[in-house]
């Protein structure tokens, strides 16, 4: 005989199903927005794309970088949002890394990385700001690209 659900159990199950559907819809909308933004970037004239790439390289090059001493097993550097002269530039750089980057798995977690010059850059994947407007993404990481050595 099938089990009869208590009314509160069935309400809880419906609430969980609704929450799951809402999360799935939000995720799908976020992915679609990313695809649209990427398509818009790709549709830019080549000179405009190069101008954005040059701007990004300049911002990242001029940032103040610190060695990440707490992770000697993964030597890399980071720049803090609060050290940037203009917060808008930091936010734009993060958006560009996430928009134009590629997915890479490291130590069991997935990150979006972008190669710029001799380094690759990534963030930790947090939202740029919390809902209340305070900063959530507070740093950008970088590490030298491994180039094959010549014989």
Full-model pTM: 0.79
Displacement of CA 85 from its chain's centroid (Å): 21
Give the pLDDT confidence score for residue 10 in this predicted structure. 77
User: DSSP letter string over 41-95?
Assistant: HHHS-HHHHHHHHHHHHHHHHHS--EE-TT-TTS--EEEEGGGSS-HHHHHHHHH
Task: List Cβ neighbours of 99 (8 Å cut-off, separation of 6 or more).
Answer: 34, 37, 38, 41
Number of H helices, E strands in the chain: 3, 6
C-alpha angle with apex 40: 52 to 33, nearest 5 degrees?
115
User: Is 142 found in the same domain as 72?
Assistant: yes
Give the pLDDT confidence score for residue 5 in this predicted structure. 57
User: Is 143 found in the same domain as 70?
Assistant: yes
Give the pLDDT confidence score for residue 7 in this predicted structure. 58
User: Is 59 found in the same domain as 37?
Assistant: no
User: Is 129 found in the same domain as 114?
Assistant: yes
User: Is 64 found in the same domain as 39?
Assistant: no
User: Is 79 found in the same domain as 10?
Assistant: no
Give the pLDDT confidence score for residue 82 in this predicted structure. 98
CB atoms < 10 A from the CB of 129, how many? 13
Kind and range of the H or E element at 122?
Answer: strand 119-122
User: Is 119 found in the same domain as 92?
Assistant: yes
Low-confidence ranges of the chain (pLDDT < 50): none
User: Is 77 found in the same domain as 112?
Assistant: yes
User: Is 150 found in the same domain as 137?
Assistant: yes
How many angstroms separate the CA atoms of 128 and 84, rounded? Answer: 15
User: Is 88 found in the same domain as 14?
Assistant: no
Give the total number of structural domains in the chain: 2
User: Is 127 found in the same domain as 63?
Assistant: yes
Give the pLDDT confidence score for residue 14 in this predicted structure. 80
| Dihedral angle of Cα 100, 106, 110, 111, to the nearest 10 degrees | -30
pLDDT tens-digit map of 85-118: 999 999 999 999 999 999 999 989 999 999 999 9
Domain that holds residue 2: 1-43
User: Is 131 found in the same domain as 79?
Assistant: yes
Give the pLDDT confidence score for residue 3 in this predicted structure. 61
């Amino acid at each position: 005989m099938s089990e009869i659900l208590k009314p509160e159990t069935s309400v809880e199950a419906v609430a969980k199903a609704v929450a799951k559907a809402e999360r799935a819809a939000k995720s799908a909308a976020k992915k679609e927005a990313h695809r649209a933004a990427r398509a818009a970037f790709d549709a830019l004239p080549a000179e405009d794309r190069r101008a954005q790439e040059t701007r990004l390289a300049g911002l990242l090059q001029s940032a103040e970088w610190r060695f990440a001493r707490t992770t000697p097993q993964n030597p890399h550097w980071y720049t803090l949002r609060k050290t940037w002269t203009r917060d808008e530039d930091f936010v734009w750089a993060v958006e560009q890394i996430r928009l134009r980057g590629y997915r890479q798995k490291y130590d069991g977690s997935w990150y979006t990385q972008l190669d710029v010059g001799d380094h690759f850059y990534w963030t930790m994947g947090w939202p740029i700001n919390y809902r209340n407007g305070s900063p959530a993404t507070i740093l950008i990481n970088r590490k030298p690209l491994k180039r094959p050595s010549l014989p």
